Amino acid sequence: MFRAFLIFKVLHITYGYENIALNKPSYETHEFSIPKYRRDTFDSSNAVDGLKADLSVFGGQCAISADGYKDATWWVNLTSIHSIHDIRIYYRTDNNDWGSSNGFTSRFLGFYVYISNTTDRLDGHLCFHDTNYSTKTIPAIVDINCTVHGQYVIYYNERPQNSPYSRQYSSDAHVELCEVEVNGCNNTGYYGGNCSLPCPKNCQSGYCHIETGVCLSCQCKLQCDGGRYGQGCGQKCGACLGYKQCNHVNGSCLEGCDSGFEGELCKSGCSDGRFGINCEHKCNVNCGVPYQCNRATGECEGGCQPGWEGARCYDVCKENKYGENCIHSCGFCRFSTCQHLNGSCEEGCKEGYQGTFCKQVCDAGFYGDDCKQECSIFCKTSHDCHHVTGHCNKGCTAGWKGFTCMQEEIDGSRFYGVLVALLICIAVIVALVI
């Protein structure tokens, strides 16, 4: 029942509009190829051939690009400027169940769709940029409403190296389009659900809004510039990416928003916890106030949580430092630096030290590993030794020697007397035998 409703709804939206992309010229960057397969198996034209029964790489019905690239572009040339209503994209599924378990969802994420009068996407209007889908939520068939005029429909995706893209995104950018339907009016100068109503006569070149018939650019009217748009150029553009000119009619930013702004007009600052171009990125949880940062740069203006440092608080404290602002020095940990948050030595202490932080020397009378060894009782001051080596600090008592005063000294005169007595005994025994 629900499925039937969705189908009806789509048919209602596109009723009367034609697929004006069908069999039109197309192009893709980095086209995929395998010697044993015909080149047209992966050709860009497969995305506008009207065939979408086989959504696999080798079915010959999908445009497929090669691996190993950080950007990918596909476009269709409508051969003249048309009034466009909506765009439907069928993505490659390899005819398997769609969802996070399907390896191609991560390749679809983050895509852009532009309408332009040239093959340069940046000359045109940004219809859609995916910043919200995940591998669980992105549909295999995406409908995009984009009521503008243009000759080229451009699909674009990228994976820039210096951008902290979502971890769910694929490492490479791909074109894997099995069908792209562009629904609109085939004839210039008409609008309405059946493309049967003529545009007003004063509309420049006959172009008007496909739904309302409002002229998008009238005769003798120059386009606004200098960061202005709207009737009489009376409104100011928002923070468009690169602070470029917005759409002179509706104020939309063709390439998205500059750092710190979001929305179609780029006049709204990033919502709390987000920053960057189009507010695509989340502030770091390690900021002094978690997820609160500068909306343009992402810098944690209130400092970092204990154990973290750097402008965006992504770096742990440097070696042998820990805690708030990384100003505290680690103790004498056994094998490595201490835990960067609280300074504890998780692998124990070096010889001669004890405690959670290994900053306490052994208790009096003990030394060495884990402070378990007792100082010698023969130290001059009993049990008074170095906490690391066990060396008696003030030397040994009489009759004892060595580093730890554990070797007994032998009296030389006593040894001589014993030796003389032994020699006399031997002489007596020899005399008796003779």
Rounded Cα distance between 390 and 75, Å, is 79
First vs last Cα of the chain: how many Å apart?
131
DSSP string across 131-159 = SS--TTT--SEEEEE---EEEEEEEEEE-
Please tell me the distance from the alpha carbon of residue 286 to that of residue 296, in angstroms, as a whole number: 18
**Is the pTM for the entire model greater than 0.75?**
no
On the CB side of 290, CA atoms within 13 Å amount to 2
pLDDT for position 223: 66
Q: Computed over its alpha carbons, how large is the radius of gyration of the chain?
A: 40
> Rounded to the nearest 5 degrees, what angle is found at the Cα of 186, between the Cα atoms of 181 and 192?
95
Q: Average of pLDDT values for 33-50? A: 89
Span 156-167, average pLDDT: 79
**Count of domains forming the chain:** 2
Q: How confident is the model at residue 411 (pLDDT cuts 50, 70, 90)?
A: low
Residue 408, in any domain of the structure: yes
Residue 252 tokens, joined: 């939309």
> From CA 69, how far away is CA 57, in angstroms rounded?
18
Q: Which residues 6+ apart lie within 8 Å of 92 measured at CB?
A: 55, 56, 57, 62, 64, 104, 107, 176, 177, 178
- Residue tagged 């004006």 (tokens): 20
Question: Do the domain assignments include residue 180?
Answer: yes
Whether 66 is covered by a domain: the verdict is yes
CA distance 347 to 416: 54
Kindly tell me if the per-residue pLDDT of 219 is higher than 80. Answer: no
Which pLDDT band, with edges at 50, 70 and 90, does 424 fall under? confident
Give the number of other CB atoms < 10 A from CB of residue 414: 9
Q: Where are the alpha helices (DSSP H) in 208-281?
A: none
Task: Report d(CA 80, CA 101) in Å as an integer.
Answer: 41
Residue 412 has φ and ψ, to the nearest 5°, of -65, -40
Reply yes or no on whether the pLDDT at 338 is more than 60.
yes
| Cα–Cα distance, 317 to 256 (Å, whole number) | 36
The DSSP H or E segment spanning 108 is helix 105-108
Range of the domain at 403: 376-415
Q: CA-CA distance, 324 to 395, in Å (whole number)?
A: 44
> Does some domain include residue 289?
no
In the predicted model, what is the mean pLDDT of residues 106-127? Answer: 92
pLDDT of residue 77: 94
pLDDT at 273 over 60: yes
Burial class (CB in 10 A: 0-12, 13-18, 19+), 416: exposed
Between 78-87, 125-134, 209-218, the lowest mean confidence (pLDDT) is in: 209-218
The answer to whether residue 247 sits within a structural domain is: no
Let me know if residue 33 belongs to a domain: yes
pLDDT band at 35, cuts 50/70/90?
confident
- How far is the C-alpha of 3 from the C-alpha of 226, rounded, in Å? 48
Specify if 383 maps to a domain.
yes
Strands 328-329 and 407-408 turn out to be unpaired
How far apart, in whole angstroms, are the C-alpha atoms of residue 152 and residue 116?
Answer: 5
Element (H, E) at 115: strand 112-116
* Res. 150: pLDDT tops 80: yes
Per-residue pLDDT at 384 = 87
pLDDT of 220 > 50? The answer is no
CATH of the domain at 55: 2.60.120.260
Residue 33 neighbours by CB distance under 10 Å: 13
Q: Is residue 100 part of a domain?
A: yes
pLDDT value for 207: 84
The helix/strand count (H/E) of the chain reads as: 3, 27
More confident residue, 248 or 55: 55
Give Cα 298 to chain centroid, integer Å: 13
Residue that is last in its domain, among 167, 186, 205: 186
Strands 261-262 and 235-236: unpaired
